[in-house]
Amino acid sequence: MTTTETHSISLTVNGRTVDDTVEPRLSLADFLRKRLSLVGTHLGCEQGACGACTILVDGQSARSCLMLAVQADGSTVETVEGLANGAELHPLQEAFRQTQGLQCGYCTPGMLMRSLELIRDNPTINAEQAREGVASNLCRCTGYQYIVEAVVEAAANQAGTQPSQDRG
Q: Which is nearer to ligand FES, 48 or 123 (CB)?
A: 48
Q: Which is nearer to ligand FES, 3 or 53 (CB)?
A: 53
Least CB distance to ligand FES at residue 30 (A):
11
Q: Which is nearer to ligand FES, 91 or 110 (CB)?
A: 110
Instruction: Tell me the helix, strand and coil percentages in the chain, rounded to 5.
Output: 35, 15, 45
Least CB distance to ligand FES at residue 92 (A):
15
Query: What is the Cα–Cα distance from 64 to 130, expressed in whole angstroms?
Result: 22
**For the stretch 53-74, what's the b/e string if a residue is b when 16 or more beta carbons lie within 10 angstroms of its beta carbon?**
bbbbbeeebbbbbebbbbbbee
Q: What is the largest CA-CA distance in the chain?
A: 67
Binding footprint of ligand FES on the chain (CB under 6 A): 43-46, 48-53, 63, 65, 102-108, 139-142
Least CB distance to ligand FES at residue 114 (A):
11
Q: Which is nearer to ligand FES, 129 or 142 (CB)?
A: 142
Pairing state of beta strands 16-22 and 7-13?
Answer: antiparallel
Least CB distance to ligand FES at residue 132 (A):
17
